[in-house]
Amino acid sequence: MADDNTPVFQIQRVYLKESSLEQPNSPAILLEKEQPSVDIQLGVEANAAAEGVFEVCVTATVHTKLKERTVFLVEVKQAGIFEIRNIADEQMSQIMGIACPQIVYPYLRSNVADLIQRSGFPPVHLSEINFQAMYEQQRAQAEGASAQVTQ
C-alpha cells in the first residue's frame, strides 16, 4: 500500500471544453484577394474541481481581419483534469502553470487547425509555446505589481 504522503500527478482526462467559429462577413470577404492579418491570443487558467483534482484550461483566440473587417474569429478552450496530491505549494504552482498546459496544448493546437480548415480556410498552426518562460514572465509581472502596491 502506498504511503499517504506520496506525491501524485495523474492525467484523468483531456477534453475539448469549448469551441466557436464566427465568419460575420462571409461570403463577400472570401472574395477579397488581400492577405488578412492574424492575431493569436493564448491564456491558461487552473481551478480546483474537487479535493486533489484540478481542471487546467488553455484557451486560444485566433482573429483574422482584412483592414477592420473580421474574416474569421475562432476561440477554442482545451481542458485537462489532473489529480495532484501531496505536492508543495511552489511545485504545485509550477505544475499547474507549466506541466499541465504542456500536456493540454498539443490537443488545442490540433483542434484549432482542424476547426479552421473545416471552415474552408487554410489551417492556422499555433507555434510551440515555452510554458516555463511564460510562467516565469507572469510571476515576474505579478511580483513587480505587488512591489508597486506595497511602496
pLDDT digit string (tens) for 60-98? 999 999 999 999 999 999 999 999 999 998 899 999 999
- The grid coordinates of residue 78 equal 482545451
Is residue 82 packed enough to be buried (19+ CB in 10 Å), middle (13-18) or exposed (0-12)? buried
| Residue-range domains of the chain with CATH | 8-150 (3.10.420.10)
User: Which residues make beta-bridge pairs with 144?
Assistant: none
When the pLDDT of each residue in the chain is averaged and rounded to a whole number, the result is 91
Rounded to whole angstroms, how far apart are CA atoms 69 and 31?
A: 13
What are the residue ranges of helices labelled H in the chain? Answer: 89-94, 100-118, 131-150
- The predicted pLDDT at position 98 comes to 94
For the whole model, what pTM was predicted? 0.86
Q: What average pLDDT score do residues 31-44 get? A: 91
